[in-house]
Amino acid sequence: MIGLISATAAGAAARDRLAAAWPDRTRVYEGPVGDAVRRAFAECEQLVCFLATGAVVRIVAPLLADKANDPGVVCVDEAGRFAVSLAGGHGGGANDLARAVGDVLGAEPVVTTATDAVDLPGLDTLGLPVEGDVAGVSRALLDGEPVALRAEVAWPLPPLPVAAEGAYTIRLTDRLVEAAEREVVLRPPSLVVGVGASSGVPVEEVLGLVETALREAGLSARSLAELATVDAKAEEPGIVEAARRLGVPLVTYAAGELSGVEVPNPSDAPLAAVGTPSVAEAAALLRGGELLVPKRKSQRADGTPAMATCAVVRRPGRGRLAVVGLGPGARDLLTPRAKAELRRAAVLVGLDQYVDQIRDLLRPGTRVLESGLGAEEERARTAVEEARKGQAVALIGSGDAGVYAMASPALAEASDDIDVIGVPGVTAALAAAAILGAPLGHDHVSISLSDLHTPWEVIERRVRAAAEADIVVTFYNPRSRGRDWQLPKALAILAEHREPSTPVGVVRNASRPDESSRLTTLGALDPATVDMMTVVTVGNTATRDIAGRMVTPRGYRWQTAQEGAE
């Protein structure tokens, strides 16, 4: 919850705007300012104070205890010009909160955390447990001193300016080790513990077994990703509570799935009880990995039979491929999610001209793999290969990456051994439609007239179907120097079913500095004025030119009423 505190009418107005934008995330604190801040500090994860920074400093200073646990505090000035990350920049999320508040209120976020100021990811913001000399290693990164990365476990990290050797070290490991001098240890969630248990097993027995198994194998409990078991034990109180205390999810599988996993230590007892010869080992191994601790039983002080078994598996870090749509070209049409994925990527793959559009958004140290036109499949293969190495990869395309762009070839190459995240973007058709008016107000279709990948016979059949169905059509790749007859042919097909007066919108370089657009008709359009940078939108029989705007009504009652009025 985010506590909101204000002292003046102007502050209250801005406070109320934020509360309206985030109704489920915020709580307004009334009353004397000092009391309100102190109550919010005790009750909330974050605070936004519409107060002078000096006043907030004096109030919260006695309350600060530990930057890892204190709430993040953001101050907004009376005029709403600045959102200042005052305390808890990383641990309390104040830096991100300041940016989010700025987006809502139109304020400039002020972030003074050193790593954020120079656009380096903070070691304590990577989403991994961190130990050791965070301040010293961060300072070395900031000062440009060589910092070595020792990755004992492959894991997708954002770009870090690391070297092969250095006086400082970032160690990525799930081993039970202490951080050395000038070293930071990052704990990836790479360990899975499979658990089998008898009904009524005490939580202390499950916890003791898991913790002992990890410790004796030299593994860190901070790298535990999940407990896994059979569906029949999904509500076993001892297992459920053990997962809660360990702070990890409990994942369950059907007995039929587990019975198909080859394990070193099958047993008749679980087969009779729950229908699979293995629970602990099979549940841990089901999604692959290396068996580090074979099945072991708990030890009971009174000598009675064990009620719990466990096995430990290390799963390899899964590479991450984000397929990112950059939109039609304008920076303000690049989505916040796309920006976040660009900043997260350690490797960027894309067409050289698209890379140039967003190069300034990349973090220092991002490895860029760019190529020219016509290498789509090669770029897709490269992106997937980099992700399979355990990297965080972004594959970029214009518009929406799933529309005539890179998502299709990338997913054709990718298998289930990497995580794939699609990031939508504003398509050229949508950007052009917004410029023209509302041509896509009813059913519509996009058709590429390029026959490089699709035979013309197929394209023609699709155009004819759209014409007969009276659907608005947006043509991509309408005409180039080597393909000058396809657009006239497509327009002729549409003209068999639509009047010459049918509105046609022509938009070139939508949203870019040299954008141009015009509204013409099906009978008047000269295909020679169209090129590959142009999107052509042909209306249906209901589309109208209204005050110079191309409008397709959502239904036909409005059209009928308008014609009746005429």
- pLDDT score of 354: 93
3-state class of 124 per DSSP? helix
Q: Are 134 and 123 in contact (CB under 8 A)?
A: yes
What's residue 118's pLDDT? Answer: 54
For the cut 60, the answer to whether the pLDDT of residue 25 exceeds it is: yes
pLDDT at residue 556 tops 60: no
Tell me: the pLDDT tens digits for 294-316? 999 998 888 888 899 999 999 98
- Which pLDDT value is given to residue 119? 60
Residue 563 pLDDT exceeds 60 = no
What's the pLDDT score for residue 227? Answer: 97
pLDDT of residue 564 exceeding 60, the answer is: no
Q: The tokens 């976040």 sit on which residue?
A: 340
Whole-model pTM: value is 0.72
Q: What is the pLDDT of residue 184?
A: 92
Between CA 228 and CA 168 the distance in angstroms is 37
Q: Find where tokens 């309350």 sit.
A: 63
Mean pLDDT of 311-337: 92
Share of the chain above pLDDT 70, in %: 97
CB under 8 Å to 257, separation ≥6 — which residues?
286
Rg for the chain, CA atoms, rounded? 30
What is the per-residue pLDDT across 94-110, written as a single tens digit (0 to 9) for each? Answer: 888 998 888 888 888 88
For the stretch 186-224, pLDDT in tens is 999 999 999 999 999 999 999 999 999 999 999 999 999
Q: How far apart are CA 422 and CA 323, in angstroms?
A: 5
Residue 13: pLDDT band (50, 70, 90) is confident
The torsion defined by the Cα of 511, 512, 516 and 521, in degrees rounded to 10, comes to: -40
- Does position 565 have pLDDT exceeding 90, yes or no? no
The answer, yes or no, to whether residue 562 has pLDDT greater than 60, is no
With contact defined as beta carbons under 8 Å apart, do 520 and 506 qualify? yes
Q: Is residue 523 predicted with pLDDT exceeding 60?
A: yes
Which residues face 147 on adjacent strands? 168
**Does pLDDT of 38 surpass 70?**
yes
On the question of pLDDT at 557 being above 70, the answer is no
Q: What DSSP string runs through 308-323? A: EEEEEEEPPPPPEEEE
Task: Give residue-wise pLDDT tens across range 332-380.
Answer: 899 989 998 998 899 999 999 999 999 999 988 899 999 887 788 899 9
Question: SS3 of 546, please?
Answer: strand
**pLDDT at position 317:** 82
Q: Above 70 in pLDDT, residue 113?
A: no
Check residue 244 and give its pLDDT.
95
Q: Tell me the mean pLDDT in the region 441-453.
A: 92
Per the listing, tokens 């605070």 go with 47
More confident: 505 or 78: 505
- Average pLDDT of the chain to the nearest whole number: 90
- Among 539, 554, 459, which residue's Cα sits nearest to residue 506? 539
**Encoding tokens for residue 345?**
């990527």
